[in-house]
Amino acid sequence: MQSASDIHIEPDEKEVRVRYRIDGILHDAMTLPHQVLDGLVARIKVLSNLKLDEHRLPQDGRFKIEKDGYKISFRVSMLPVFEGEKIVMRLLDETSNRINPRKNGVGRGSFGNCASRNQASERHDFSGQDLPEAEKQQHSILLWIF
C-alpha cells in the first residue's frame, strides 16, 4: 500500500474498484467481481461494530489491527450508493513517531499570554522585522496540527 492514507472500495454495475489515496491522489489498485461485495461489506462492518442490516443510512466506525509490531487504526465510513455500499477507510499509523510540538517551536512562551487581539497587537508588531518570526511560528503550528 506504500503509504496510502485512504482505501476506497467502490461498487460499480459489474465490478468493485479498490483504490488507494497516496499523496492526495486516488490510484486504482485492483478490480474485484461484484459478487465479493456483500462479503467484504459484512466483514468490515463486523470489524467496525456497525449494523449489518443497515444498508440505507451512512455508518461510521473504527477498528485497529496490530501485526508485526505495527498498530494501524482504521476509520471506516459506509455510504449507500446505487450499486450497494461504498466503503472509505482512513488509515492511521499509530506506531509512527509522534510530532513533538515543543521541538517545532510551539511551547509555553511561543505566543505569550494574550487575552485578546488588542493585547496581541500591542505586544507584537507584525509589520517589519517581526514578520519572519511570526511566519515561523505560524508554520510550526500548521506542521503540528497536520
pLDDT of 113 > 80? The answer is no
pLDDT of 87 > 80? The answer is yes
Percent of the chain with pLDDT over 70: 64
- Report, as an integer, the average pLDDT of 90-109: 64
pLDDT of 29 > 80? The answer is yes
Long-range contacts made by residues 75-79, C-beta under 8 angstroms, separation at least 24?
Answer: 76/44, 76/47, 76/48, 76/50, 78/41, 78/44, 78/45, 78/50
Q: What is the 3-state secondary structure (H, E, C) of 21-54?
A: EECCEEEEEEEEEHHHHHHHHHHHHHHCCCCCCC
| pLDDT given at position 83 | 92
> Which tens digits make up the pLDDT trace of 33-86?
999 999 999 999 999 999 999 999 999 999 999 988 889 999 999 999 999 999
pLDDT of 104 > 60? The answer is no
How is residue 73 written as a grid cell?
487504526
Confidence category of residue 2, pLDDT binned at 50, 70, 90:
low
d(CA 67, CA 40): 21
Q: Which pTM value belongs to this model?
A: 0.64
pLDDT of 125 > 50? The answer is no
